[in-house]
Structure formats: structure tokens, C-alpha cells
Structure 1
Amino acid sequence: MKSSISIEKIYVILADLEETASILDNSNSKLKAHSLLQDSPMFSVNLFNTNSDLFTDYVIEIKSKTAQLSRLIKNKNDELSKYQIELIEKQISSLHNAFHSNKNIHDEAQNRLNAMASRRYKKAVKAVIQPSQNLYQNLSEHHEFERRLLQMLQDKEQERVQASSATFNKLSQDVLTLHQRLGRCRQAISKIEADIVKFESRN
């Protein structure tokens, strides 16, 4: 009789659990943060065989365990009945705790979701800003190179003016080489400036 009453009490508790589980599952399904918890088990494999992110699925397992308990009691299998009752009690207690922790778990998941979104945003901003920074840095380096070439060219021109006939031809060749390098540098500057215009027009 006592076992019979215990079974009845378990089914009453399960009815309440099922109602709460259904409400929470419905509420969780509307949360973006729940996407991080989907298809992940809520409990240890030592406690539940079920592998789900839905509370209702765990209530179904407890129902199944309770039906097994009822058969064990009818067959007067006291040893297994005692073990089954202890397991069911642990499952019910764990499910109650999970109900109370549901909000905190989803708040933590939302924080992780926010952090992921923040990282994606920073990465997207970097993808836009970094190329622009690289172009301007490259332009700055070429302008510095142009400045150094102009200074070198000025120095060589002064040397050539004061040069003897023996070194004049050599200095003339150096001046020509510097003019060629300066021309290539200015072409590179023009290309970089064009790339900057294209990049900024796309963004």
C-alpha cells in the first residue's frame, strides 16, 4: 500500500514537472541565447540517459522510470525497487534545480552570444580599417622614399657641377639612375593614391 501511494505521489509530481517543463521549453525556444544550448545535454550521463536541451524530454524519461518502478513493485523486487526510487528522486531533484537555474544559464549564454557578436563586429571593423591603414602607411613610406631620392639627387647634382672631367660621366650616370628611381617611386605613389580612392569609394 505504501509503495502504491509512493507511485501515485510521483505521478502527481511529474504532472507539475511536465507543465513547468513545457512552459520553460516554449519560453527558451524564443531566446536567441538558447541556440548555444541546443542539442547539449543538461545533466550527467550518470543521472539521465536522455541527451536533450528540452526539459520535457527529461520528464518523459522519469515517467518511463516510474512505469518501470511500478512493475518492479508488482513483482515484489524490493532491491531493484529501492534503487529505482532513489534514482527517480535524484532525477526529480535535479530537474527542479535546473528549472530554478534556467534563467541564470540563459543569461550566461546571452553574455557569450554578446561577446561573440562583439568579436565579429571588431573583426568586421578591422577588415575595413586595416586595409585603409595599410594603404596610408604605404603611401607615407613612399613619400619618405621620394623625399630621400630628391635629397640624393640634389646632392649628386651639386657634386656634378663641381666635378672634374674624370668623374663627371660617372656622376651623370648616378643622376640618371636616381631620376629613374624617382620616376618609379612617383608611379607607385600615384597607384597607391588611386587604390585609396577606390577603397574609400567602396566603403
Structure 2
Amino acid sequence: MRADSFDKLCQQVTTLKQHAEQFDKAKLFAKNRYMQAQPSLFDRGVFTTKSMKLVDYVLEIEDEVNSLPPLERRHAHNYALERIGNQVQAVFNVIKSTPIWEKENKSTYKPRNKPVSKSLPYQQAVKQIMQPAHELYDELKQNHEFERRLVLMVEECKLRMQNMGPVKAKAINLEILALHARLGRCRKAISATEEKIQIVEKQQLR
């Protein structure tokens, strides 16, 4: 990620933190027994933090942003960005639900700032970074899984050939050739996807 993009993301997370602090000050869960009984606002798969304060989760996002792997480690870098994007969306969803909680708890809290927009800048920043890179990485991951399965199938066929007669061995050999053809097409698809990823990453560095 470019330095200016990183600075912009940090600024947007700071804005998210301000909204989270306003949400916490409103104490919208105070009169809801169900929410008070919960150990955490979010699933452990999204956050490691366990808290009923929204700002605590934004602090975890800040830590994730500050420890973002370098761009050279592109797989780890994009995985971390995807995680940050999911975390931002999760916090935003809670903030977006503020009017619902205000109505249910009959709160008199009125935010000083304008209501949170449905399309916040930090959401746009994350989407600009992730799209279409994360889709290409999903495609690459799927292709690598196909490659792994085909390699295993080839190895299994070779093991079967060791105890077969000439006729059956010939049939298995034809099966191996067909698998190798599929493996070749799969590896071409992997190379094509990797080239697309390189183009996207070069565009992000501009």
C-alpha cells in the first residue's frame, strides 16, 4: 500500500473511532438485559477482543493497521487488508444500528455530529484497496487447490501402476496423460491470475 493510501486509511479509522466513542457514551445497551449478558459484541472469528465497548474493537483495528505486513509479502498483506475490511464493516454495522437501539431503549442521546452516512469514507478506502485484488486472490487460491488435487491424483495413478499388468498399466498411463493435460491447463490459469494480480498491485503503487 502506498504511503498516502496508508495515511488515508489511518485517518478513516480515526474517524471510525470517534463514532465508536459517541456510540459508547450513549450507553445504548444499558437497558437491554440480553446484550448485558453477552461477553462480547462480535464473533471471535472477526475480533480477538472481548468487550461490550465498541471503541475497544476500533483499538484492535488500529493495531491491525499498524502491524500491516509489507507489500512485498503480498499474500499476507492482502489477507490482513481483508481482515481489516471485515472488522471495519462489523463496527460500521453496529454504528448504523444506532437509531434502532435508540428507539428500543428510548434514549435521549443525540449525537453532536451528523448521522453516520451509509457510505463512509473508510469503507470506500478499504474497498478501493481490496477490489479487485481480493477476488483475484480467491481465484488463485481455488486454482492452487485444483492443482494440488490433480497432483495427488497423478501420484495415486502411479502407485496403482506398480502392481498392474501391461494392459491395465497402459490404461492407467492414458489416465495419467489426461491428468497431466488438465494440470497444464490449471497451471496456465494460475500464471494468468498471477499476472493479473501483478497488474493490479502495480496500479495500487502508482
Q: Scaled by the length of structure 2, what TM-score is found?
A: 0.45
Which structure shows the higher helix fraction? 1
The TM-score with structure 1 as length reference comes to 0.46
